[in-house]
Amino acid sequence: MSNGCNLACIVGARPNFMKMAPLLRVLSARDAVHTTLIHTGQHYDKNLSDIFFEQLDMRRPDISLEIGSGKHGEQTAKILQRMEEVLEAGPAQGSRYDRLVVVGDVNSTMAAALAAVKLGIPVAHVEAGLRSFDRTMPEEINRIVTDGISDMLLVSEPSGMDNLRREGHGDEKLHLVGNIMIDTLLHLLPQAKAIGTPEQLGLEVGEYAVVTLHRPANVDNADTLSELVDVLIDVSHRLPLVFPIHPRTEQRLERFGLLARLQQAPGVRVLPPQGYIEFLSLTSRARVMVTDSGGLQEESTVLGVPCLTMRENTERPVTVTSGTSTLVGNDAGLLRNLLNDVLDGSYKKGRSPELWDGHAAERIADILLQ
């Protein structure tokens, strides 16, 4: 096993799984490469973690750290400490990891990269270079730190290349490879369309909105969240809403006394977090998405579904300039106007960015194994 290339591949939270799955699949077909899949356990609920391994056909982790939830310092510190032990132990007696591969911008991404680089293990960052220029977002700090210590920066959209060059990264480290999350989307879209989740929920295809919200900036403050709930209920008078609720958001809605208001609104369907295939079944047939998720901005762009993004900024500007996303912040009036455009067919159409073609994992594998 110690012959060839030993890669430590890290996952931790829901948005990591769909980015790592295609890469593991492609690497498993290449010669002389051995991968060790390490799950930090940042997300541990069946609905946020296990179900993705089943649906994405990803093998079970070789190593599970079971870190769990916690404050940022606590969660990051635990991952750092456990990752150091795991990386020092190596993939097998007497052998060493040649490289660590991290994806995205969650706490697990940054902490694992930091543990590796301090042990002299080089780091490849998939989805490098994205910047919202909003340092109040924990993910922005994770992106800046991870890119700063990685020597292989695998970039999903042109803005990422510009950002990294501006920050002084040399061209030898940068690779525009496209969007690996779209590999998973295109791979599973036929299955998602076939299972008919909207029909099962009694929704009319193309006549509902999918809502997701979980960013701290939107859900951690009672006044902000209350305003957003009002906006959503307003939207639901025009178009039925399906709202799979992230555990963080559910906790906050309950704490601020807002959950019942949403659940009792006749046009709102509150659901638990959905599996990847069920969720894609819902989004691919939606009239519009209303979300604060970066990943959904990308997926809606490829699906050609309008995306009203409840954020003031985005680290994925191509989804706005070429894609179907518009930033609405929490401006209820703007949201209402754009919804009118969606309903009367005048909303912009958008197109898929270059290299969001379902083959990013192959390009990444080629670079990793060069």
| CB 152, CB 175: distance < 8 Å | yes
Instruction: Map the footprint of ligand UD1 across residues 83-142, applying CB under 6 A.
Output: 105-107, 138-139
CB of 12 to ligand UD1, least distance (A): 7
214 is an active site residue? yes
Helices within 237-267 (DSSP H only): 247-255, 259-264
Nearby residues of 361 by Cβ (< 8 Å), 6 or more positions away: 22, 23, 25, 26, 180, 183
Would you say the C-alpha torsion 49, 54, 57, 60 has a positive or negative sign?
positive
Q: Which of 7, 9, 11, 14 binds ligand UD1 (CB under 6 A)?
A: 14
Reading the block at residue 120, the tokens are: 């002299």
Partners of 63 in the beta sheet? 38
Q: What size, in residues, is the chain?
A: 370
53 binding ligand UD1? (CB under 6 A): no
Q: Which stretch binds ligand UD1 (CB under 6 A): 36-44, 162-170, 226-234, 327-335?
A: 36-44
Region near ligand UD1 per CB under 6 A, out of 42-50, 93-101, 236-244, 339-347: 42-50
- Closest distance between ligand UD1 and the C-beta of residue 174, in Å? 23
For ligand UD1, the closer of residues 292 and 362 by Cβ is 292
- The angle subtended at Cα 277 by Cα 263 and Cα 177, nearest 5°, is 120
Interior/surface letters 150-187, b for 16+ CB within 10 angstroms, e for the rest: bebbbbbbbbbbebbeeeebeeebbbbbbbbbbbbbeb
Instruction: Compute the least distance from the CB of residue 329 to ligand UD1, in Å.
Output: 18
Given the rule CB under 6 A, which of 20-28, 37-45, 192-200, 335-343 is the region that contacts ligand UD1? 37-45
Catalytic residue among 39, 214, 237, 359: 214
**Dihedral in degrees, nearest 10, Cα atoms 325, 328, 329, 335:** -130
CA distance 70 to 77: 10
User: Among residues 1, 2, 54, 69, which is the contact residue for ligand UD1, using CB under 6 A?
Assistant: 69
Cα gap 157→139, rounded to integer Å: 17
Instruction: Collect all residues with Cβ–Cβ distance below 8 Å to 267 and sequence separation of at least 6.
Output: 233, 236, 237, 239, 240, 241
In the three-class reduction of DSSP (H, G, I as helix; E, B as strand; rest coil), residue 65 is classed as: coil
Of the two residues 50 and 227, which places its CB atom closer to ligand UD1 in the complex? 50
Residues 175-214 that bind ligand UD1 (CB under 6 A): 214
Restricted to residues 235-264, the positions that interact with ligand UD1 (CB under 6 A) are 246-248
Which residues are CB-contacts of 263 (< 8 A; sequence separation ≥ 6)? Answer: 270
Asked whether 19 and 181 are in contact (CB, 8 A), the reply is: yes
Stretch that binds ligand UD1, among 10-18, 54-62, 82-90, 338-346 (CB under 6 A): 10-18
The nearer residue to ligand UD1, 158 or 247, going by C-beta atoms, is 247
Residues that bind ligand UD1 (rule: CB under 6 A) add up to a total of 18
Contact residue for ligand UD1 among 7, 8, 13, 241 (CB under 6 A): 13
Nearer to ligand UD1, 106 or 288 (CB): 106
Please check whether residue 110 is in contact with residue 144, taking contact to mean a CB–CB distance below 8 angstroms: no
Is 78 near ligand UD1 (CB under 6 A)?
no
> Of these, 5, 33, 48, 176, which contacts ligand UD1 (CB under 6 A)?
48
Tell me the closest approach of the beta carbon of residue 41 to ligand UD1, in angstroms. Answer: 9
Q: Please report, as ranges, the residues that interact with ligand UD1 according to CB under 6 A.
A: 13-15, 42-45, 48, 69, 105-107, 138-139, 214, 246-248
Q: Name the residues annotated as catalytic.
A: 214
